[in-house]
Amino acid sequence: MTSSAKKSVSATSVDTTDKAALNKKQSRLQQVFPILGWLSQYRKETLVNDGLAGIIVAIMLVPQGMAYAFLAGLPPQMGLYAGIIPLFIYALLGSSRSLAVGPVAIASLMVGEAVSQHAQPGTDLYITTAMVLALLVGVVLLLMFILRLGTLVNFLSHSVITGFTSAAALMIAFSQLKYVFGLEFPRGHHFYETLNNLTINLPSLNPATLVVGLTAFFMMWFSKNHLAAALKKLGASDLLASSMAKAGPMFAILAGVGMVVGFDLNDQYGVKIIGEIPAGLPSVSLLPFEMDWWLGLLPAAVLIALVGFLESVSVGTALASKRRERIMPDKELIALGFANIGAAFGGAYPVAGGFGRSMVNDASGAQTTVASVITASGLALTVLYFTPWFYYLPKAVLGVIVIMAVLPLIDLSGIKKTWNFNRADALTLAVTFGMVLVAGVEAGLLAGMVLSVALLLQRTSHPHIAVVGRVGDSEHFRNVKRFEVKTNPCCLGLRIDENLYFANTRYIEDEVMAIVSEQPQLQHLVLICNGISFIDASALETLEMMIENLRESGITLHLSDVKGPVMDQLKQTHFLQHLAPGQVYLSTHEAMRDLCDL
């Protein structure tokens, strides 16, 4: 019912109309703010669950935030800020109940790569550029929503994602080794620079730093793999045990700070620490506009938006499907878009839904985005009151936290499986992986996307064409090379297993003509179209030429098993007149029975 139609309703029904309008308004509000739908049914138990999950994620996010900011070449507080305003915004707008938004590893790497091409690390310009990048990422996400381009992530194939993620994780892990070994060299733009710098500088490694790093590593490894079991043996509750197991990074930080302070490792042994983190909430900042500068950042912003959105949607979908729910990709574009714009003006850098933290958030019992509000509040308290506690935090510990977070992303079994299944996919994976390491994350991702499309075209440009025959006395026709079938030399059935479009029309024409030239007695050629879902203008042109060429050789072309949508399309042209006296048969069986009594 349109609004003008509503206006013509008589006065007696005004009340109902008002109520309907109210309901409609409510549901519209709910559409914009999914949280309203949950809050109306919000109960105390839910708050307990959300609260616990929010606190556990905050405990993970504090060290991760600082570590990821480091990875992006930014001061640690920016990683903490990235866990405040964006989370409040996501809580209001997001459609996933348990996605944990914030700074993430791969986007941080991409931010570092992109920003360091426009500014020197450590400068104010570097920081401002990262914030502008967050704004651009937000705008790109909103544009993707407006232009309905959310489906763009579908063009990232599994192989591209696996190759990209594995290589990026490897780069991230190696980039952190300098902190773990206590080496000092400038950030390299390429993986081989990092490797080279590591090798050259290895002799000057700082043993005390390495000890701190290895201790952190051991504590995190133990927490993750054995702490829960150990605590349960000691009689702890399941909840406590599993919560403690997730606090590994926090333990590592405590141990690290303890060692530095206890043994004066910073002054006496040269263990690098974070130093002062400015306390207090971030101030809302205005961003300077300069066309060239912004435009230069745009390509990076598009890729970061794409990767960030992909990670968020993937993990969001996985978590939602466990409860037989669905997330709404469009809503996610809006929520992540505004979260990034919030990040930009809230002194942070690009954010996304993190894989690891979201899993923890869900496993810890988060039921609504109220959990995110709790996490954000935790981070706000941290930057307000607890930053001095991290003064003595060794950089080596942050390095280990990053390494532990990204190692599971290196998907060796996925690589092996892809290799076994499909060499084209394996090639895409290998090229993406290699290009990320050799030419950087952006170039690698683009190369992978281009290659996956090119290989798709390549694959569909040489379609499988089968000569078919009748299986026994059934109505089925199968490939003569694979089955015992009956054929008739006057009448040939050809099945083309691909859509007919510009990249394969020439090939198909050549192949069909070659097959026909080997059949001197041939009178009727039946093209079996059950594998053809569309025919484009190039193919239509070729088909009409083929009809003529075959006719000149005394052969009539027929079609069978043409799908409905294709038939609709053909009927809009003069094709069927061109085809006559050739016919379109419902099935191959009918065609063969009519044409050659097979």
Instruction: With contacts defined by CB under 8 A, name the span among 103-111, 113-121, 212-220, 473-481 that binds a second copy.
Output: 473-481
Site membership for a second copy, residue 576 (CB under 8 A): no
Q: Pick one of 504, 556, 560, 583: the residue that binds a second copy (CB under 8 A).
A: 504
Site membership for a second copy, residue 117 (CB under 8 A): no
β 556-560/352-353 pair status? unpaired
Site membership for a second copy, residue 501 (CB under 8 A): yes
Q: Cα 509 to chain center, whole Å?
A: 39
Burial level of 232, CB count in 10 A (0-12/13-18/19+)? middle
Instruction: With contacts defined by CB under 8 A, name the span among 81-89, 103-111, 165-173, 560-568 that binds a second copy.
Output: 560-568
Residues 420-439 that bind a second copy (CB under 8 A): 420-422, 424-426, 429
Q: Least distance from C-beta 68 to a second copy, angstroms?
A: 28
Site membership for a second copy, residue 519 (CB under 8 A): no
Measure the CA–CA gap between 509 and 512, rounded to whole angstroms: 5
Query: With contacts defined by CB under 8 A, how many residues of the chain interact with a second copy?
Result: 61
Q: 441: which residues sit within 8 A by CB, 6+ positions away?
A: 106, 109, 110, 113, 164, 167, 168, 171, 303
**Residue 388 contacts residue 65 (beta carbons within 8 Å):** no
581 upstream amide cis, omega within 30 of 0: yes
Residues 450-469 that bind a second copy (CB under 8 A): 452-453, 456-457, 459-461, 463-464, 466
Measure the CA–CA gap between 340 and 332, rounded to whole angstroms: 12
Q: Tell me how far CA of residue 16 lies from CA of 21, 24, 26, in angstroms.
A: 8, 12, 15
Site membership for a second copy, residue 499 (CB under 8 A): yes
Residue with tokens 């996985």: 318
Burial level of 349, CB count in 10 A (0-12/13-18/19+)? buried
Q: Least distance from C-beta 566 to a second copy, angstroms?
A: 9
Q: Least distance from C-beta 252 to a second copy, angstroms?
A: 34
Site membership for a second copy, residue 578 (CB under 8 A): no
Closest C-alpha among 64, 136, 20 to residue 405: 64
Site membership for a second copy, residue 159 (CB under 8 A): yes
Residue with tokens 């069986």: 589
Decide whether 204 or 533 has the Cβ nearer to a second copy: 533
Decide whether 149 or 205 has the Cβ nearer to a second copy: 149
Measure the CA–CA gap between 153 and 229, rounded to whole angstroms: 40
Q: What is the DSSP letter of 224?
A: I
Decide whether 387 or 588 has the Cβ nearer to a second copy: 588
CA atoms within 13 A of residue 295's CA, in its CB half-sphere: 3
Decide whether 96 or 340 has the Cβ nearer to a second copy: 96
Instruction: With contacts defined by CB under 8 A, name the span among 97-105, 149-157, 342-350, 365-373 that binds a second copy.
Output: 149-157
Decide whether 60 or 429 has the Cβ nearer to a second copy: 429
Site membership for a second copy, residue 476 (CB under 8 A): yes
Site membership for a second copy, residue 120 (CB under 8 A): no
Site membership for a second copy, residue 377 (CB under 8 A): no
Measure the CA–CA gap between 366 and 54, rounded to whole angstroms: 7
Site membership for a second copy, residue 413 (CB under 8 A): no
Q: Least distance from C-beta 554 to a second copy, angstroms?
A: 13
H/E stretch holding 162 reads helix 158-181
First to last CA, the chain: 58
Q: Pick one of 30, 201, 519, 538: the residue that binds a second copy (CB under 8 A).
A: 538
Decide whether 15 or 484 has the Cβ nearer to a second copy: 484
User: How would you classify residue 471: left for phi > 0, otherwise alpha for psi between -120 and 50, otherwise beta?
Assistant: beta
Q: Least distance from C-beta 367 to a second copy, angstroms?
A: 20
Closest C-alpha among 478, 498, 480 to residue 489: 480
Site membership for a second copy, residue 593 (CB under 8 A): no
Residues that bind a second copy (CB under 8 A): 151, 154-160, 321, 417-418, 420-422, 424-426, 429, 452-453, 456-457, 459-461, 463-464, 466, 474-476, 479, 482, 497-499, 501-507, 530-531, 533-534, 536-538, 540-541, 549, 563-565, 569, 572-573, 586-587
